[in-house]
């Protein structure tokens, strides 16, 4: 199995590390034949050492010695089976990630992505293209990181009618609101999240609910067979949540959490009152989801929604599923 890694930031490096750590799981050779980031690329049909790739990135800031031009050119320069697309998310246009995914599927090759941009904007187009070309498109890590939700609903709960999904899908927002529960004002809680690495220098995608909305769209299209995009989501972020609102909720035995909800008719992201002790009242950076089904009732799952190794674990599961399918 020959792999190209498009994007070699936190998750790309994590996946390379996981391939090294879990090499004994594979009963056929699995090798990285190309990797590229925004600055550079490297290819080797014989296989690249994942540890060396990560070390070079840490030491030089670039994954390879060659100056980066077009990702499509790199993809066309090597013979590969699976593209692992983990470049930065562009929710406005889909960015390079969308071009990489579409190009690979048109070639009849398989794709694993955690990039929310292509999926939130063009999911159904990409899904139809994959089926037409006989390709496999998998994206477990795009929602909830290590929390297994997409494959759980589409594979393990096959035969069930999933009626709704409500959840906390952004650890940054959950951390901020959890800290506000202790009396910290919003700005101070946000600053703490940034200092700990939970929030970016520009936290807009997180605190305005954009990241959660992307994940809700992916769930709507993949689990509920809807045909929606990011523009169809009703979004309210957490910037308007005041210390007074947090205190008032506490007086009523409640907390405020940013909840994404999706069903056949609902597509919404908003701060909501949640009773203390409820599964969706969790604190910290955890992601949690409540899946309402017709036969099994309510299923609750929780897990780390981000992190290099955690998200890479979801990519690994998708890779092994593709290998099983191709066998």
The catalytic site residues sit at: 215
Give the up-direction half-sphere exposure of residue 257: CA atoms within 13 A in the CB hemisphere: 30
Per the structure block, which two tokens stand in for 244?
């007074």
The sheet that has 254-263: what strands, in order across it?
A: 234-235, 267-275, 254-263, 162-168, 286-293, 298-304
Token pair 């005041």 in the structure block, residue: 242
Angle between helices 10-21 and 308-326 (to 10 degrees): 60
Q: What letter does residue 87 receive in the DSSP assignment? A: P
Report the C-alpha gap between 96 and 85 in whole angstroms. Answer: 10
Per the structure block, which two tokens stand in for 241?
């949540």
Residues 140, 148: contact at Cβ < 8 Å? yes
With b for 16 or more beta-carbon neighbours within 10 A and e for fewer, the 266-283 pattern comes to ebbbebbbbeeeebbbbe
The total of other beta-carbon atoms located within 10 Å of residue 217's CB is 27
Q: What letter does residue 141 receive in the DSSP assignment? A: G
Report the C-alpha gap between 246 and 238 in whole angstroms. Answer: 11
Per the structure block, which two tokens stand in for 79?
């013979």
Report the C-alpha gap between 202 and 266 in whole angstroms. Answer: 29
- Residue 255: exposed, middle, or buried by beta-carbon count in 10 A (0-12, 13-18, 19+)? buried
* Phi, psi for residue 172 in degrees, rounded to 5: -60, -50
């Amino acid at each position: 199995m020959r792999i190209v890694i498009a994007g070699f930031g936190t998750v790309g490096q994590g996946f390379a590390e996981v391939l090294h750590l879990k090499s004994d799981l594979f009963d056929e050779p699995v090798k990285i034949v190309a990797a590229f980031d925004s600055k550079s690329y490297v290819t080797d049909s014989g296989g690249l050492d994942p540890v060396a790739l990560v070390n070079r990135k840490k030491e030089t800031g670039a994954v390879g010695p060659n100056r980066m031009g077009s990702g499509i050119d790199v993809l066309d320069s090597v013979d590969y089976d699976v593209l692992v697309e983990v470049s930065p998310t562009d929710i406005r246009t889909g960015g390079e990630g969308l071009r990489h995914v579409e190009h690979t599927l048109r070639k009849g090759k398989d794709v694993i992505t955690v990039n929310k941009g292509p999926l939130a904007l063009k999911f159904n187009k990409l899904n139809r293209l994959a089926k037409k070309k006989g390709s496999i498109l998998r994206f477990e890590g795009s929602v909830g990181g290590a929390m297994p939700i997409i494959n759980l609903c589409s594979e393990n709960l096959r035969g069930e009618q999933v009626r709704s999904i409500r959840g906390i899908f952004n650890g940054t927002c959950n951390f901020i609101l959890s800290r506000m529960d202790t009396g910290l004002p919003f700005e101070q809680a946000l600053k703490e999240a940034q200092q700990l690495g939970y929030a970016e220098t520009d936290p807009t995608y997180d605190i305005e609910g954009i990241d959660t909305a992307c994940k809700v769209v992916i769930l709507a299209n993949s689990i509920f067979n809807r045909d929606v995009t990011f523009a169809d989501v009703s979004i309210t972020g957490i910037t308007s949540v005041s210390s007074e609102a947090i205190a008032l909720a506490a007086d009523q035995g409640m907390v405020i959490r940013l909840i994404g909800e999706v069903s056949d008719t609902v597509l919404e992201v908003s701060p909501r009152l949640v009773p203390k002790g409820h599964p969706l009242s969790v604190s910290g950076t955890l992601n949690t989801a409540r899946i309402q089904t017709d036969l099994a009732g309510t299923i609750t799952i929780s897990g780390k929604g981000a992190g290099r190794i955690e998200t890479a674990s979801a990519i690994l599961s998708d890779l092994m599923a593709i290998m099983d399918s191709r066998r």
